[in-house]
Every structure is written in structure tokens, then in C-alpha cells.
Amino acid sequence: MALQLEQKRQIVAEVNEIAASALSAVVADYRGLTVAQMTEMRGKARETGVYLRVVRNTLAKRAIEGTEYECLDEAFIGPTLVAFSTQDPGSAARLLKDFAKEHQALEVKALAIGGEMLGADQIDRVAKLPTLDEARAMLLAVMQAPVIKLARTLNEVPGKLVRTIAAVRDQKQSEG
């Protein structure tokens, strides 16, 4: 079914709005996936905060104009699925990487993060990026480490004194 001009404009505007605020993008070829598999992937995408859209290449190219994802322009060849990470930079890459393990028909074409296009072989690198909560936990651990070491060091002084006194006591008891 052919799309009307107004429908095309709506699709371009919707994808452009998401692309303008997205943290990363992944372009994949979905040829060979069944409707049930696509529905499953869309459900997982909703759970993880990933915007997933099958879009015509010409519309996708227009939608990413003026965003940092213009570098993906050459990746729009053949049937294209676009996934934008809206909550953390690695979520779209994690979703498509995990889904591609289960379904060999899904093939990642390219990724983009920070205005830089990465090849499909870089998906592991982007998928391993920490989530927001993981990044916060790592930051807090780094911030707490010096304070914890200081507390342990300060606690060691009286502890050492107590152990020395106990050793002297034990020595005197064994002598006498």
C-alpha cells in the first residue's frame, strides 16, 4: 500500500524527533524475520527504552538530516530497521546483538554514537556500555574508595595497639 504524502511527512517528523534526542542508533537488515519475531523484538524494545522502526530508506535519510546520525546515510540500503537508544547509549546495540544471536536473519549494518559511524563489528563495544544505573554505581564506588581506605587506616591504629597489648599480656602470662 502506497503511503500518502502526509503520512510520509508524519513518519519523517516522528523519526527526526526521536533521532534528535537519541543517544545512539543502530541500523539493521531484518530480511528473513517472521512477523512473530518482529513483534517479539518490538516488545523487548519497549521494555528497554529503544525506539524501533521499519522505515523506507528515502524517508529515513530525510529524517536523520540535521541530526548527529547523518553519518548513517550510506547504511540505508535494502530493507532497513532503525533502532534508537533513548535511555542509555548501549540499549539498542544490546537489544539487536542479543536478538541477532537467537535469529541469524537479523543482520546489523551500522551503528552511530556521538555523530560517529561505527561498523557492525563494533556492536560488542557499544553493547558493553554501562546503563545509567551501572554508571552511577561505578562512579559512587570510585568516590567512596578513598574515604573507605582512610577509615580503615584510622581504625588500624587503635587495632594495632590493642593487638600489641594483648601480645604483651599473653607473653607475661606464659612466663609467669
Q: What is the pLDDT of residue 87?
A: 83
CA dist., res. 106 & res. 17, Å (int)? 26
Q: What is the pLDDT of residue 154?
A: 83
Confidence of residue 156 (pLDDT cuts 50, 70, 90): confident
Q: Is 125 helix (H, G, I), strand (E, B) or coil?
A: helix
Please report how the helices 35-48 and 91-102 are oriented relative to each other, as an axis angle in degrees rounded to 10: 150
Q: What is the pTM of this model?
A: 0.71
Residue 2 or 168, more confident: 168
